Amino acid sequence: MSPWPYPYWLAHRGAGKHAPENTLAAFRLGAAHGYRAFECDVKLSADGVPFLLHDATLQRTTNGHDLAGERLWDELAQLDAGAWHSPAYTGEPLPRLNEVAAWVQAEGCCLNVEIKPTPGTEAATGAAVATACARLWAGAAVPPLLSSFSEAALQAAQAAAPALPRALLLDALPPDPVARARALGCVAVITQHRLMDGALCTSLHAAGLRALCYTVNDEADVQRLQALGVDGLITDAVDRHPPVEPQRPGR
């Protein structure tokens, strides 16, 4: 297997349970807990600006509503993405990918950029996010890891920025996950944690693919997955899981 430059522990949505998900406040909180790698969700505004948001719509995590991808960035930039979480975060804005790229690199951290397209914009989002990442991390020692549940987004990312590493996200197991990941030129597969077992982990490693899991919050799940030899865990529980690197062969 090729070298794997990413820390074992990644804070999910930038530590987005204890601070508002996918905001810079969440990244700062994860870093305060010792995290050096983060996962976040990135989509496009109507005018093509990559920014962080999980849902297709705005209402769960901002004071806006309806489809985020139909709003211009100037409109999105006015929204409050923190008050929904708790009063202390009132006024926290939606971040653009370029702000997060600057913060992550200034802190010497790594980023897993989940390409989270507004439905119907899979290829365009994959291409634009990959192009932006290639520019924002040009010359960086560790590139961002691009991931997506959308194979169309990953294909477009591969075409736009072939040198950036990619991971296939799985919330259900296809008949041959190794073949799907290979067809997309991926370096890793990231599964919902209950899908990972010894056979899958072994087959991924045998194919030269890294095996990672989301969203791993309970200690029993951490122990099970570490015993399997997975290569990384994405967690919300940054307060319960200090980001200690396990001893792993092949590093």
Q: Is 26 exposed, middle or buried (0-12, 13-18, 19+ CB in 10 A)?
A: buried
Q: Report residue 66 as tokens.
A: 């309806």
CB of 121 to ligand G3P, least distance (A): 16
Of residues 114 and 236, the one with the C-beta less far from Mg ion: 114
Q: Which residues bind ligand G3P (CB under 6 A)?
A: 12, 39, 41, 54, 114, 147, 169, 190, 214, 234
Write down the H helix ranges in 137-197: 151-160, 177-183
Q: In the complex, which residue's CB is closest to Mg ion?
A: 114
The distance of closest approach from Cβ of residue 5 to Mg ion in the complex, given in angstroms and rounded to an integer, is 20
Q: Give the separation between CA 180 and CA 165, rounded to whole angstroms.
A: 15
> Catalytic site residues?
12, 54
Of the pair 39, 92, the CB lying nearest ligand G3P is at 39
Residue 222 interacting partner from ligand G3P, Mg ion, none (CB closer than 5 to 8 Å by kind): none
Q: Under the rule (CB under 5 A), what is the footprint of Mg ion?
A: 41, 114
Strand pairing of 37-44 and 188-192?
unpaired
Measured from the CB atom, the residue of 205 and 243 that comes closer to Mg ion is 243
Nearer to Mg ion, 103 or 205 (CB): 103
CB 13 within 8 A of CB 245: no
Structure tokens at 78: 């006015």
* Residue 169 interacts with, from ligand G3P, Mg ion, none (CB under 5-8 Å by kind): ligand G3P
Number of Cβ atoms within 10 Å of the Cβ of 198: 11
CB of 14 to ligand G3P, least distance (A): 11
> For ligand G3P, which residue has the nearest CB?
214
The answer to whether 110 touches 142, Cβ cutoff 8 Å, is yes
DSSP 8-state class, residue 18: T
